[in-house]
């Protein structure tokens, strides 16, 4: 689902082309124990088509710190949750794994990363990740302790990862990786 262009008539009879943003689907009643959230600045058709039906979509396009504000709210709910970023394609096995894996911090790497050796450089990524309630309860200030200069979306994942690792948590990789439609990787 992407933006579409629409021709509209002005009061003076002239016409103009405007961009109309697509809308994410409304969530259905939650099926499992994991609350799914999809922070987005734009809608990618492949993500929309693959997303869990019970996912809550959160528009974070208002500022570079909006993602932090959204995660602060989600973290504060103290319920097991998963994130799927707007440029990541989900699969049914991902949903099942996040429901059943007992690890407190689970992550799917990106299938299209340049080299397998580079995967650990992305250990803190938030593209397709799940955090269990026990981790949220153990590190309740993981988001609130980040100073304002760390709120920008580009490095927010590393600020969160630093706080979780300082409390003894490590990520648990799941395979195979998910399709990430974002920017290019290392060479």
Cα dihedral sign, 176-166-183-1: positive
Asked whether the beta carbons of 35 and 82 are under 8 A apart, the reply is yes
pLDDT digits (tens, 9 = 90+) for 101-125: 999 999 998 887 766 666 666 678 8
What is the rounded average pLDDT of the residues 57-62?
92
Distance between CA atoms of 136 and 1, rounded to whole angstroms? 32
Q: With cut-offs at 50, 70 and 90, classify the pLDDT of residue 27.
A: confident
The Cβ of residue 130 has, within 10 Å, a number of other Cβ atoms equal to 27
Instruction: Check pLDDT > 70 for residue 183.
Output: no
Question: Which of 138, 68, 135 minimizes the C-alpha distance to 107?
Answer: 135
Per cent of the chain over pLDDT 70 is 85
Q: Which domains can be identified in the chain, with CATH numbers?
A: 23-180 (3.90.550)
Residue that has been written with the tokens 């304002």 in this structure? 148
Asked whether the beta carbons of 1 and 45 are under 8 A apart, the reply is yes
């Amino acid at each position: 689902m992407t933006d579409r262009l629409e021709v509209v008539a002005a009061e003076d009879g002239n016409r103009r082309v405007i961009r109309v943003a697509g809308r994410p689907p409304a969530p259905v009643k939650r099926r499992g124990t994991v609350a799914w959230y999809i922070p987005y600045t734009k809608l990618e058709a492949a993500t929309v088509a693959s997303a869990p039906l019970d996912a809550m979509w959160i528009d974070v396009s208002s500022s570079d710190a909006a993602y932090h504000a959204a995660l602060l709210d989600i973290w504060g709910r103290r319920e097991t949750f998963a994130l799927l970023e707007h440029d990541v394609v989900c699969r049914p096995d991902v949903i099942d794994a996040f429901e059943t894996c007992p690890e407190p911090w689970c992550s799917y790497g990106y299938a299209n990363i340049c080299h397998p050796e580079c995967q650990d450089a992305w250990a803190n990524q938030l593209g397709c990740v799940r955090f269990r309630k026990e981790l949220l309860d153990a590190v309740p200030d993981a988001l609130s302790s980040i100073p304002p200069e760390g709120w920008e979306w580009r490095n927010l994942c590393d600020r969160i990862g630093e706080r979780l690792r300082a409390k003894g948590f490590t990520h648990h990789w799941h395979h195979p990786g998910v399709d990430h439609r974002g920017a290019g990787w290392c060479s």
